[in-house]
Amino acid sequence: MKSTPSLSFTVVQIAMILIMAACNETASQKRTTTIPMQDGVELATELWFPQSGGGPWPVILVRTAYSIKSQQGYGKFFSSHGYVVAIQDVRGQYRSEGDFELWNHERKDGYDAVEWLANQDWCTGKVGMLGGSYGGWVQLAAAAEKPPHLVTIIPSVTMGDPCLNHVYPNGMLHLTQHLQSISLFETRFGSGGEKYKLKPGWQKKLNTFPVIDLDLELFGEKNQQWRDHINHKPFDSYWDQSNVLIDLEKTGIPAFLIGGWYDFGGIGTKEAYLHLKKSKNPNIKLLIGPWSHNTLGKSRLGPYDFGEAAQVDLDNLKLKWFDYWLKSIENDTPKDPLVQIFEVGQNQWVSSNTYPLPSTDTLRLYLSGNHNANHPDKPHKLIFDIESMDNGFDSYTYNPADPTPYLWYNNMGDIDSILASRDDVLVYESEAFSEDYQVLGPASATIFASSSAPDTDWLVYYFLLNDKDEIQPAISRGQVRARYRDPEKGDQLLEKDRVYRYGLDLWHNSFQIPAGYKIRVVVCSAAFPHFSRNLNTGNDNETTTEHQSAFQNIYHSHAYPSSISFSTIKTE
């Protein structure tokens, strides 16, 4: 069913200009206070009260690691609509007491903040939460603790599991992103100051061995959080406090999740949604637009314009949601579809009550050989029919001393030349499609592979090529560190040259494959410097320096049918 998020955007946008012009600080009563946590730590909080009326009012809580000042737009807007807005610096940030540790205090602190607010005489006893990025995840953390007075949450562009979404995606250290996070919090929000600011050219220093000493190389001193995260690998009990996904299944509150197809952490929004859908409350709403981490509600992303339908007034959608759940104001919320996702290519909204969409089909393409042609000009085959598969395997050598570069949007124009210059990649390409396809939903890859090493990494990318063989902005990738291939069994090294099956999550995407376009798949064993390298020894990749080359085989046969799968829907 086609739909648009249920507001008349033209009228609302005009109204919003008038409202926001009127919503200056004098339109609300603003107070500062501190809220005590159970261990005695006081968290700085700014309270925005409605100017008119004597209350009590429901409360919207915004907990932030980015400073109260950065979130004051929420205070101005929602207090002008009859809510108390509490904006709080999380523990150890800005004016709040305590020590800041990424993720480790947000469950209990979120619980304490909600319950303190609910018990004030100016509160109705109903509390909602909103915020984005880290401010999205703190809502999941609070909800996992089930505070009695938390009625609803609206997380935007949130992560799901900090360990597996942010620090160690599928076991591989998210090197550049995590260093940027450490730098961000220490420079702008912590006590590190300018010495933690990443200098131009900093990525050229990432060849340093061992990886754990990058804090010394880049910041001139040891950083405790960096070293804690290096020393605690995936599935270590250290991460239990931040893994909230399973606990979300035990919550009973409505939630409204907002994300973007191009959000660098976009998998978290979908993961949180899928776990919340297993909870006791059926009112779990999902909105995904053609947006990045920082362009929510906008119609443009870089040079790409997704049309007027992509421009959405998210503040008023959130207000409508809060009005229904916190004030019991009758509106269309119960009638609105629970899932509204943007169909890129058609540039329109699709609605449903479940995601992935119930009408989703699977498009599967199989890897096949082409006489060891590891080159974009002479690629291996990507075929629709398993019966046409060339039975065999393709090979390459991965050398950690010369790791394969990361192939992503930032070097999209250079990907062909990068591939042509490397002998540590396998390139597979389909024939031109004979009909249109609309991809919408999760994608995955299954590869059968062997290695000479006791541990190594596997990465699979896919690219959309137009009828001129130019790469289009429909890129995704998945990866897995071989030793963590089976989360149920934890850390397991490989037997030399044994064939293993690997399932790779290629995240979720939305794009059109017009007739005449192609799909390209690239398989390799590094994405440097975005991800830390596997040294192929079976030892700790971040605290040791010894490394060796790995001889890699990717199989395609009836016994080992390596493939890639997309979710597709029929278009109207």
- 214: helix, strand or coil: helix
Q: Cα–Cα distance between 142 and 117 in angstroms, integer? A: 14
Following CA atoms 315, 317, 320, 322 in sequence, which dihedral angle do they give, to the nearest 10 degrees? -70
Q: Which residues contact 289 (CB under 8 A, 6 or more apart)?
A: 259, 260, 261, 296, 297, 310, 312, 341, 342
- 446: helix, strand or coil: strand
What pLDDT score was predicted for residue 21?
Answer: 39
What pLDDT score was predicted for residue 571?
Answer: 73
Query: 100 and 126 in contact (C-beta within 8 Å)?
Result: no
Query: 459 and 479 in contact (C-beta within 8 Å)?
Result: yes
Query: 311 and 296 in contact (C-beta within 8 Å)?
Result: no
Alpha helices in 236-301 (DSSP H): 245-248, 267-276
CA angle 225–250–105, rounded 5-degree value: 20
Q: Cα–Cα distance between 264 and 450 in angstroms, integer? A: 30
**Taking the model in full, what pTM does it have?**
0.91
Following CA atoms 318, 319, 324, 329 in sequence, which dihedral angle do they give, to the nearest 10 degrees? -160
Q: Which residue, among 377, 457, 469, has the nearest Cα to 419 in the 3D structure?
A: 377
Q: Cα–Cα distance between 518 and 373 in angstroms, integer? A: 18
Please, what's the largest Cα pairwise distance for the chain?
78
What pLDDT score was predicted for residue 284?
Answer: 97
Q: CB neighbours (10 Å) of residue 526?
A: 26
Q: Which residue, among 300, 553, 545, has the nearest Cα to 448 in the 3D structure?
A: 553
Classify strands 426-430 and 380-383 as parallel, antiparallel or unpaired.
parallel
- 302: helix, strand or coil: coil
Question: What residues form DSSP beta bridges with 301?
Answer: 304
What pLDDT score was predicted for residue 44?
Answer: 98
* 16-33: burial string, b at 16+ Cβ within 10 Å, e else: beebeeebeeeebebeee
Question: What residues form DSSP beta bridges with 364?
Answer: 565
Q: Cα–Cα distance between 510 and 304 in angstroms, integer? A: 14
What pLDDT score was predicted for residue 10?
Answer: 38
Query: 181 and 174 in contact (C-beta within 8 Å)?
Result: no
Q: Which residues contact 193 (CB under 8 A, 6 or more apart)?
A: 186, 187
User: Is the four-CA dihedral 119, 120, 122, 127 of positive or negative sign?
Assistant: negative
* 552-565: burial string, b at 16+ Cβ within 10 Å, e else: bbbbbbeebbbbbe
Q: Which domains does the chain have, with CATH numbers?
A: 2-163+254-352 (3.40.50.1820), 169-232 (no CATH), 361-569 (2.60.120.260)
What pLDDT score was predicted for residue 488?
Answer: 86
- Please list the rounded mean pLDDT of every run of 10 residues in the chain (572 residues): 50 37 54 97 98 90 94 97 97 92 94 98 98 96 97 96 91 94 78 82 93 95 94 91 92 96 89 94 96 94 92 97 98 96 95 94 94 75 93 95 92 90 96 96 97 98 95 91 93 97 95 97 97 98 98 96 96 68
Q: What is the DSSP letter of 378?
A: B
Q: Cα–Cα distance between 85 and 79 in angstroms, integer? A: 6
Ordered DSSP codes for 484-536 = GS-TTT---PPPTT--EEEEEEEEEEEEEE-TT-EEEEEEES--BTTSPPP-S
Query: 300 and 306 in contact (C-beta within 8 Å)?
Result: yes
Q: Cα–Cα distance between 214 and 138 in angstroms, integer? A: 28
Q: Cα–Cα distance between 431 and 439 in angstroms, integer? A: 17
